[in-house]
Amino acid sequence: MTAARFGPARPEFDPELRASLAVVGGMFPPTITPELIGFMRASYASPPIEATLEQRGITRTDHTVPGYGGDDIAVSVLTADTGAQLPRVGVLFAHSGGLMFGDRFSGIDLVLDWVTDFGAALVTVEYRLAPEYPDPVPREDVFAALCWVHDHAAELGIRSDGIMLAGASAGGNLIAGAALAVRDRGGPPLIGQVLDYPMLDDRGGGYSLDQFDGVGVWDRVSNDTGWHALLGDARGGPDVSPYAAPARAEDLSGLPPTFLTVGSAEIFRNETADFAERMWRAGGNAELHIWPGAFHGADIFAPHTRVGRAMIQTRNAWVEHLLVG
């Protein structure tokens, strides 16, 4: 029995993923309004990480580093004694959370394999959150952290000839912005970037943006809330930096090899596919995966499902070829 529904046609959620939404919806509602930012900060806070790190043999060292404007921000460096070659390849990670919530360990269990299996040094950055810290603070915190890693590579035991970037959702926004800034400002050398279902465009307009109102994870209204928190009234206008909304960059040439992943059943489907297409037009190296029936962050929330597992394995295979010589 299919209930009548208003609004545009849309791809069905994969059955396993639809089932997981029964649980996910309790802590991450489909529609996030400004009133829900407080709730989301509590519900999307990462669970205690220490037991996980210990179980996986991962060492964590915390550092206070200069962020945007020289203000202190925290980063953690995660390494494992894998017998891999030293110095390690550094990976700078920016977490998800709509630019308004989450912390540097949110969703991190998906990338810990890179530390334990591929010998990476994972540097995760506590960028400051909107709306208290609007643009350019979050993106410049990430860029500053990247510069700090490069400048302190020797003492961190990290290779200085190439860092990989990775970010999911809002973190994908910050990472894509940082990669553009690196290109334009002549920043540290990059070997690649992972953009998981990235939040790229404040202007809207993609067909997928209007297909998922009130269902799944991160609908149009949630996206409005996030962009407004970051950009305020400048959102959608002529004065937004392409480092804040990377889809605005007119030139996507000169970027490092880029891995992009997104669900067919989420609002960022068009933005992500367009970004890959525009990289290809500019002669770039992009690998794009669109997962059928996947909602936003399906691999974070439902890593046990067939689609979730495939998303993780596919990403890991790409990362492995970059990190493991």
Asked if residue 19 binds other proteins (CB under 8 A), the reply is yes
Hey, what long-range contacts does 278-282 have (CB within 8 A, 24 or more apart)? 278/252, 279/252, 279/255, 281/252, 282/251, 282/252, 282/253
Which region among 14-22, 88-96, 235-243, 256-264 touches other proteins (by CB under 8 A)?
14-22
Instruction: Report the alpha-carbon distance of residue 291 to residue 140 in Å, rounded.
Output: 31
- Residue with structure tokens 């800034």? 181
Q: Residue 222 CB, nearest distance to other proteins (Å)?
A: 18
Single residue of 147, 303, 314, 324 touching other proteins by CB under 8 A: 303
Interface pattern 273-302 for other proteins (x via CB under 8 A): ----------------------------xx
CB of residue 305 vs other proteins: minimum separation in angstroms?
A: 6
Shortest distance, position 138 Cβ to other proteins, whole Å? 24
What is the size of the binding site for other proteins (CB under 8 A)? Answer: 24
3-state class of 151 per DSSP?
helix
3-state DSSP assignment of residue 6 = coil
Give every CB contact of residue 260 below 8 A, 6+ residues apart in sequence: 195, 198, 272, 275, 276, 286, 287, 288, 289
State the minimum distance, in angstroms, from the CB of residue 48 to other proteins: 10
Beta partners for residue 124, in sequence order: 76, 93
Helix (H, G, I), strand (E, B) or coil at 289: strand
Strand partners of residue 201? none
Tell me: does residue 308 bind other proteins (CB under 8 A). yes
Q: How far is the CB of 45 from other proteins (least distance, A)?
A: 8
The nearer residue to other proteins, 306 or 321, going by C-beta atoms, is 306
If the CB atoms of residues 106 and 272 are measured against other proteins, the closer one turns out to be 106
| 26 near other proteins, judged by CB under 8 A | yes
Using CB under 8 A, which of the segments 17-25, 57-65, 88-96, 146-154 binds other proteins? 17-25
Cβ at position 75, least distance to other proteins in Å: 24
Q: To which H or E segment does residue 178 belong?
A: helix 170-185
The distance in angstroms from the start CA to the end CA of the chain is 53
Which residues contribute to the site for other proteins (CB under 8 A)? 1, 15-16, 18-24, 26-27, 39, 42-43, 47, 301-306, 308-309
